[in-house]
Structure 1
Amino acid sequence: MRKITILFFLLGLPLLHFSQTLNGKVYDASGTVKNVKVFNKTQNRVTVTNNNGNFSLEAKVTDTISIESVFYHPKTIALQAYHFDGTAVFELKEILTELDEVEVKAAPEQPVFVEETYNTELKNIIQEDIKNHPEKYKPAASAYGPDLFAIIDLVANLLKKKDKYIAPTYQPITYTQMDSLFTTSSFFNTQLITDNLKIPEDRKYLFFDFCDAKQMSSKLLKEENKMQFLEELVVNSQLFLILLDEYGEKSVKKNKD
């Protein structure tokens, strides 16, 4: 009987000491959470949740994992056997007040239409065009004088050209722009990088280089796109930390594209 007990004990050892795959899902009060870092502190392994909040990570019973994101309070769990039965569910609490207050600016007032000013400007435009293109204003061969309808068409086309809007072209955000922004902005500053994005301070400039390679549109630097830009920084910081944790600084430089 004692030999049988010892045999079962020996057969159970692999389950206690060898890694398994932990399948999990991360929620908050609104639903699943994507791009959250899940770190096995015991085995120094890391992954992130996908768009459905799911993740898979090598782990074993008694390992300690942490779940972290810039918008949520970090969560640390000591794994038990039941965590490996199916899909383990973990809930995060959202941080509501820890980020700097977002400055909201009032929309600019619409210019007041002044008929006298408008007529003066229109007259100057017409006179300038007559001066540059006199051939367009020659009278038509008609017994009744100049072709007024033709002149009206010319003026209408001239106004259309003036009012035509050309959409701006936005270039990717450069390393220099990142460095300048985090030096001068009260919102995007070093504290946000180290405390919220969890980037080590001595890796700040390497992170700027990494973001440069990601070719983010400089349209994100506009004031009204501030929160969208922050979301992009959060995602890039998670990817940056994964590369930094798994492979080190040299691999970040090679894999930033």
Structure 2
Amino acid sequence: MSNKKIYFLLLCALASSLLSAQQKLLQGKITNETEVDGIHILNTSSRYNTVTNENGHFSIQVKLLDTLIFSSIKYNPEKMVITETIYEKGVVTIALTELVNELDDVYIAPNLSGNIVADLKRIKTEKPIDFDDVGIPGFKGKPEEKIVPLYLTITPLSVDIEALYKHISGYYKGLKTRRKWEYENNAVAKLLNYYTLSFFTTTYGIAENSVYDFLLFCAETSTIESDFKKEHFGSVLLILNDKAKIYKNRSSKENQE
């Protein structure tokens, strides 16, 4: 194989790699005729998520080969892989299959006693209904560890040795910090998904590779998380305007040093 052909193949591989790492905003529409609002769309690769509006339209940040999951109570869950064609067009339409829930066969025990509680215990179904059966996302992991307040570790009747040790060792303090970081990271992801990367670079002059750090700064020093959650978008923009000036001034001083 000639050197020119090798260089050409390497350039193609590099271009493909760069393309797959680049995010873009995908515009989409659910084409079903009824009940197309409030359908959840989750990007399982980036964890970005959004919901459709009353017309079935949505937008979400994607990269090549990301996987989107569509779910709602009325429709069966659907998966879509972002192919090169979808990525290049930047637009997609999808029709969801309506969910038809059928009850499992119920076997009624003979000689019912008339006691409702006792008779219900004797009724058997093939299997219990899970949230996956009706297309609703649900929590499958372990329940979040409860942090026992320090004043409850020692009572007149008992001593919670494990909880007391976790306070003394700093375990609970570290756990609170990790949860705070996770909460802030989720808030930043939602802000990025809602406003898009170009909004922050164009409107506030924040460097593209600094946008995430800028939003973390906003989350740590303001009420932007709760304001965004409550859809107080006016307050969110005021915070962004104020914090952008502080952040850029701080970054400028750091560069001078």
**Short-chain TM bin:** 0.3 to 0.5
Query: What is the TM-score when the length of structure 1 is the normalising length?
Result: 0.39
Q: Highest CA radius of gyration, 1 or 2?
A: 1
Query: What is the TM-score when the length of structure 2 is the normalising length?
Result: 0.39
